[in-house]
């Protein structure tokens, strides 16, 4: 049985006082263990980062970009290995795992252009003989606390921009599937990154609190549930850190009467059930506008859901695989029962699903609810599993209010052929990311990712130019070069720009 341990700079050691089990979602058994660290382990990583970061910050952006280029090549060369490793611990099918890696790779590609992204501003002649310019400089040491559902993509969303801008970075991945994050760190070192600039520590709340409290860590990026995101944000800010904390979601898909329902059904099946629904950008709520639309959508959804194939993560024909572990399987099935108890109509029941030969696996079949109402807890909260809920809306205005009034504001989609309706919806909806006939509106790497309300705490989004801003601070310089011969009598007077 393999054991995953911390990745520290040379000379850094850590004793494993505690360990956590890594489960195989396909059969429910234990496939490995991971060492859980504490404040002492973190301190070892921080000291190595402090020693390495100044020289890395002084390395010109073009040379830092070359490391990113090499890392990109290594990711592409090792794609199959990484995808298999990810699927083995997470349970995603291989195609989903490769998508996970690819979306992280796209952020690394953006970071290959870091010299362009770091250019400051310059004003010549802002005053008599005065020039003003700005420069972006690294914060020092950053840290990332990442969730189990995207063990490749989200770490790269964080450490890519942080390292490219000249920071050292300490990654604390989920203890549920830590192998791919460890492998990413190893590949970064193979790409030429100096030791101490990227390290990986493992742990639970004890390690998280140590990160949030450490005075030498200047910024923390987090992705996880909203309650924990709020906790991370409050504790990190109280400790004087810059914090971005992305939380949960309950994304809605508005289905207008003129929508192409065949397209909608395909999109909903992929967005609601893909990756077993374990995505903050999943689409677990469909909002058909009008009873006729709702009835037609339901009629098409039922056979499409029954046609979904659930299989082990290595099955190339499976639409999705198991959830992460038995505890999460029980949680998802508990929410399904909650929906039944609240009075929603369970049209397709995914509980009790069993895969032949893998009866102990963590599988949950696809479920469909109809006549879900906004007062139900199963609607208010994130289920994070293969469950789709239909919430019927009478008209466009009601459909617009549903995602706008929800506690989460991560993503939303509208399906329509009407350009005016789509434009009006995108302009007015109170949600951070909007898709128009796009079910999972994750922005490309040169834009940015982030939700509103309880889906995101902090003022800066992930990756893109927003990520560059988060991991850097701006220094402003006002310069005047005397032509010589002056007595310097006004040297301490603040110059005016008039």
The distance of Cα 29 from the centroid of its chain, to the nearest Å, equals 27
- Specify if 344 maps to a domain: yes
Catalytic residue numbers? 280
Predicted local confidence at residue 270, as pLDDT: 96
Q: Is residue 494 part of a domain?
A: no
Tokens of 163: 């390292």
Tell me, yes or no, whether 492 lies in a domain: no
The reported pLDDT for the residue numbered 17 is 78
One domain, residues 378 and 236: no
* One domain, residues 327 and 227: no
pLDDT at res. 482 = 84
> What are 355's strand-pairing partners?
358
**443: in domain:** no
Task: For residues 15 and 40, state if they share a domain.
Answer: yes
**Structural domain includes residue 191:** yes
On whether the CB atoms of residues 267 and 415 are closer than 8 A, the answer is: yes
Residues 54 and 107 in one domain: yes
Decide if 115 contacts 30 (C-beta within 8 A): no
- Asked if 400 and 258 sit in the same domain, the reply is yes
Instruction: Determine the pLDDT at residue 15.
Output: 74
Q: Hey, what are 457's tokens?
A: 């705490």
- For position 308, what pLDDT does the model report? 97
* Structural domain count of the chain: 2
d(C-alpha 347, C-alpha 306), whole Å: 11
In a domain, 287, yes or no: yes
Whether 238 and 294 map to the same domain: the answer is no
Instruction: Return d(Cα 187, Cα 160) in angstroms, integer.
Output: 13
Is residue 484 included in any domain, yes or no? no
What per-residue confidence (pLDDT) applies to 493? 63
Q: Is residue 346 part of a domain?
A: yes
Domain that holds residue 395: 252-436
Measure CA 381 to chain center. 19
Q: Looking at residue 205, what is its pLDDT?
A: 96
Strand pairing category for 367-370 and 456-457: unpaired
Calpha distance 479→194 (Å, rounded): 35
**pLDDT tens figures, 278-321:** 999 999 999 999 999 999 999 999 999 999 999 999 999 999 99
CATH number of the domain at 268, please.
3.40.309.10
Q: In three state form, how does the secondary structure of 322-344 look?
A: CCCCHHHHHHHHHHHHHHHHHCC
Q: Are residues 369 and 414 in the same domain?
A: yes
For residues 67 and 166, membership in a common domain is answered with yes
Which residue numbers in the chain have pLDDT < 50?
none
DSSP string, 409-467: ESEEEEE-S-HHHHHHHHHH---SEEEES-SS-PPPTTS-B--EETTEESS--BSHHHH
pLDDT of residue 483: 77
CATH number assigned to the domain comprising residue 192? 3.40.605.10
- The Cα 163–Cα 117 span in angstroms is 13
Residues 201 and 307 in one domain: no
Same domain, 214 and 263: no
Instruction: Read off the pTM.
Output: 0.93
């Amino acid at each position: 049985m393999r054991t995953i341990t911390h990745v520290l700079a040379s000379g850094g050691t850590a004793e494993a006082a505690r360990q956590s089990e890594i489960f195989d979602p396909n059969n429910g058994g234990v496939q490995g263990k991971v060492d859980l660290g504490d404040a002492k382990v973190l301190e070892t990583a921080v000291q190595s980062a402090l020693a390495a970061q100044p020289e890395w910050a002084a390395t010109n952006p073009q040379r830092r970009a070359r490391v990113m280029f090499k890392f990109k090549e290594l990711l592409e060369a090792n794609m199959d290995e990484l995808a298999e490793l990810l699927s083995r611990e997470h349970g995603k099918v291989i195609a989903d795992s490769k998508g996970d890696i690819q979306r992280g790779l796209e952020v690394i590609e953006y970071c290959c252009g870091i010299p362009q992204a770091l250019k400051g501003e310059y004003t010549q002649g802002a005053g008599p003989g005065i020039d003003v310019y700005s420069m972006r400089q690294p914060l020092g040491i950053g840290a990332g606390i990442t969730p189990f559902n995207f063990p490749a993509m989200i770490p790269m969303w964080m450490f890519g921009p942080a390292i490219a801008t000249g920071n050292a970075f300490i990654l604390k991945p989920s203890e549920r599937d830590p192998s791919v994050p460890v492998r990413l760190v190893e590949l970064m070192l193979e790409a030429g990154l100096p030791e101490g600039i990227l390290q990986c520590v493992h742990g639970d709340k004890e390690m998280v609190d140590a990160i949030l409290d450490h005075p030498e860590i200047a910024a923390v990026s987090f992705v996880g549930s909203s309650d924990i995101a709020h906790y991370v944000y409050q504790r990190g800010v109280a400790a004087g850190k810059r914090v971005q904390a992305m939380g949960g979601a309950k994304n809605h898909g508005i289905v207008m009467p003129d929508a192409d329902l065949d397209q909608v059904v395909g999109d909903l099946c992929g967005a609601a059930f893909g990756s077993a629904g374990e995505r903050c950008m999943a689409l677990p709520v469909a909002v058909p506008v009008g009873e006729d639309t709702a009835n037609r959508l339901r009629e098409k959804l039922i056979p499409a859901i029954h046609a979904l194939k659930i299989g082990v993560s290595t099955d190339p024909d499976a639409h999705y695989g198991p959830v992460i572990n038995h505890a999460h399987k029980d949680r998802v099935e508990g929410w399904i029962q909650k929906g039944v108890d609240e009075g929603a109509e369970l049209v397709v029941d995914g509980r009790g699903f069993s895969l032949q030969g893998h009866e102990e696996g963590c599988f949950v079949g696809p479920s469909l609810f109809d006549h879900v109402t906004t007062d139900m807890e199963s609607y208010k909260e994130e289920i994070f599993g293969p469950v789709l809920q239909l919430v019927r809306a009478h008209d466009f205005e009601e459909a617009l209010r549903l995602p706008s009034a929800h506690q989460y504001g991560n993503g939303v989609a509208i399906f329509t052929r009407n350009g005016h309706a789509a434009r009006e919806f995108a302009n007015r909806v109170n949600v951070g990311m909007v898709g128009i006939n796009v079910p999972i509106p994750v922005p490309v790497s040169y834009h940015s990712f982030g939700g509103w309300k309880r889906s995101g705490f902090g003022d800066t989004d992930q990756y893109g130019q927003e990520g560059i801003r988060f991991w850097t601070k701006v220094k402003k310089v006002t310069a005047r070069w005397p032509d010589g011969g002056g007595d310097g009598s006004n040297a301490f007077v603040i110059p005016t720009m008039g």
